[in-house]
Amino acid sequence: MMTSEWLSVLPKAELHMHIDGSLQAERMLQLAKKNGIDLPYSTVEEVEDAYQFKDLQSFLDLYYLGASVLREEDDFYHLMMDYLLKCREDNIVHAEIMVEPQTYLANGIGFDVFMSGFKRAIADAKSQWGISILLILSLLKHTTEDECIAVLNMADDYSDDFVALGMASTEIGNPPNKFQRLYELGKSRGYNLQTHSGEEGSADLIWGSLEAMQVKRIDHGVRCTDDPLLVDHLKNHQIPLTVCPLSNVRLRVFDKIEDHNIIDLLKKDVLVTVNSDDPAYFGGFLNDNYHALIDAFDLDKTDVLALVKNGFRASYLPEDRVQVFM
Ligand code: HPA
Ligand code: ZN
């Protein structure tokens, strides 16, 4: 019998979590009031009622609106600390967190402001209870490659703080070859390379991400099952997919959790991992995602352990640290 206590005490890694996606309704309303930002909601219920998404774009519109309440260093501190406290609750001992500078720069907020807030929260969590955190520089596919390169250059002053270069936002209409030069630059600067791909977009876009962007890890990637040759390639090269089950249901990638393909992929030895993506928007943090899978697929402890171990194997931790969790 698998108890929720067993799952909650199990040390876990989370590899796909956008820090802006962890902004909870209460914090959003509090910061909007403090910073004088007009939002179309005034209660937690109104915020949560708005979270009915028909696709990725309908979510992204609200997600960028929500992030517009973040203005001061302290706001970024609280955003990060709220998530790190959730990590403690869910026993996430290692997290790789996506930071999206373009969202803040568009509101006139510089790297010094948000990075100071994030780093102060991480330092506090490390000293208070001990947690391992890496940051991913996540750029936005709906912007131009030149804009992304400008932000990559700005991040040079923080290159020790970012372990990887990734991309999120609108996948369809922004194909991998649009960002080939950006990724060549990212590679030359020593970043690990990953990108969102194959969430709404086809298996072709995943192939493109592997080839034109040279990525070694794919965020989502669930549409790979449209192409058996691609599934074989992912398996043979053990290319990790950071899968987000509740997100995929809320954004209608799958109609219901029982239709999700993550367990099929696990059984085929593809390196799939479980993550929450934007937990404040999709109705669940990491353990909720595991519970949804356990219930829908009647998973036993062996299956859950395989998924949890994949989270460490797919991480950017050095091999000796990974082995601690095997
Ligand atoms: N897909 C693309 N962009 C995103 C997502 C996602 O799931 N979450 C936050 N930005
Ligand atoms: Zn994502």
Taking ligand 2, which is a single-atom ion, which protein residues have CB atoms under 5 Å away?
277
The separation between the first and the last C-alpha atoms of the chain, rounded to the nearest angstrom, is 22
Is 4-317 CATH 3.90.1150.10? no
Is pLDDT of 2 > 80?
no
Rounded (10°) CA dihedral 76, 143, 151, 206? 90
Question: Could you tell me the residue ranges of all domains in the chain?
Answer: 4-317
Cα(50) to ligand 1 centroid in Å equals 17
Phi, psi of 163 (to 5 degrees): -90, -20
Residues 224-243: what's their mean pLDDT?
98
Q: Render pLDDT for 11-37 as a digit per residue (tens, 0 to 9).
A: 999 999 999 999 999 999 999 999 999
Tell me the pLDDT tens digit for each residue of 95-148: 999 999 999 999 999 999 999 999 999 999 999 999 999 999 999 999 999 999
Q: Which residues line ligand 1 (CB under 6 A)?
A: 18, 21, 56, 63, 168-169, 196, 199, 247, 277-278
Pairing relationship of beta strands 92-99 and 12-18 according to DSSP bridges? parallel
Residue 199 among the catalytic residues? yes
Q: Give pLDDT, residue 1.
A: 57
> Under a CB-based contact definition with an 8 Å cutoff, are residues 218 and 240 in contact?
yes
Select from 20, 22, 59, 142 the residue to mutate for testing ligand 1; criterion: most ligand atoms less than 8 Å from CB.
Answer: 59
Residue 228 is classified by DSSP as H
Cβ-based burial of 233 (10 A; exposed 0-12, middle 13-18, buried ≥19): middle
Residue range 248-272: mean pLDDT, rounded: 98
Residue 103 CA to residue 85 CA, distance in Å, equals 24
The Cα–Cα gap between 10 and 187 comes to 34
pLDDT of residue 5: 87
CA 207 – ligand 1 centroid, Å: 19
Our mutation pick for probing the ligand 1 site, out of 14, 51, 56, counting the most ligand atoms within 8 A of Cβ, is 56
ipTM score for this prediction: 0.97
**Number of Cβ atoms within 10 Å of the Cβ of 52:** 10
Q: What is the mean pLDDT of the chain?
A: 97
Percent of the chain with pLDDT over 90: 98
CA distance 131 to 87: 9
For the CA of 21, the closest atom of ligand 1 is 9
CA of residue 56 to ligand 1 center, whole Å: 7
Structure confidence by residue, pLDDT tens digits, 195-232: 999 999 999 999 999 999 999 999 999 999 999 999 99
Q: Can you give the pLDDT at residue 239? A: 98
Tokens standing for 198? 């194959």
3-state SS class at 288: helix
**Closest ligand 1 atom, CA of 138?**
10
User: Do 114 and 48 form a contact (C-beta atoms < 8 A)?
Assistant: no
Q: 102 phi and psi, to 5 degrees?
A: -60, -30
Distances (CA, A) of 16 to 30, 112, 155, 244, 274: 26, 24, 20, 8, 8
pTM above 0.95, yes or no: yes
Helix (H, G, I), strand (E, B) or coil at 149: helix
pLDDT in tens, 50-99: 999 999 999 999 999 999 999 999 999 999 999 999 999 999 999 999 99
